[in-house]
Amino acid sequence: MKVVSKKIRNSARGQDCALRIPGVCNFNPETTVLAHVGRNRGMSIKCHDTFAVYACDSCHMAIDGHSMTMDRGTKAQYVLDAVEETQAKLLEQGLIKVA
């Protein structure tokens, strides 16, 4: 079952960017969206909404490879840190729960 949640997607509004890529991040919560970070599946095929991060538009473009080239290891570290931060916020908001 694929997790698609309008509440999780909407929760990104006004949040700080969890990626904060140096020299890229615009630190503007007004541009933050829920950026899916699972395996590259194409633009219209996204991973679960639970495997996504709060990202400003600039960092989102960077991890999608649109605005800069980043080696896989560096990208993976930014994404892993951001997933941990975003999931902690989703837990705090009650948008994901552990049984």
Instruction: Give pLDDT, residue 42.
Output: 57
Q: Taking phi first (over 0 means left), then psi (-120 to 50 degrees means alpha), and beta for anything else, what does residue 16 get?
A: beta
Q: Give the other-Cβ count within 10 Å of 26's Cβ.
A: 13
Q: What is the DSSP letter of 12?
A: T
Residue 77, pLDDT > 60, answer: yes
Give the residue from 69, 63, 51, 56 showing the smallest Cα distance to 30.
56
For 23-62, what is each residue's pLDDT tens digit? 999 999 999 999 998 765 555 667 888 899 999 999 999 9
Q: By three-state DSSP, how is residue 33 classified?
A: strand
Q: What pLDDT is stored for residue 25 in this prediction?
A: 97
When comparing pLDDT for 19 and 99, which is higher? Answer: 19
Q: What was the pLDDT predicted at 69?
A: 75
pTM: predicted TM-score of the whole model, two decimal places = 0.89
How many CA atoms are closer than 13 Å to the CA of 4, on its beta-carbon side? Answer: 4
If DSSP codes are grouped into helix, strand and coil, which group holds residue 53?
strand
Which residues are catalytically annotated?
Answer: 36
Q: Which domains does the chain have, with CATH numbers?
A: 6-92 (3.30.50.20)
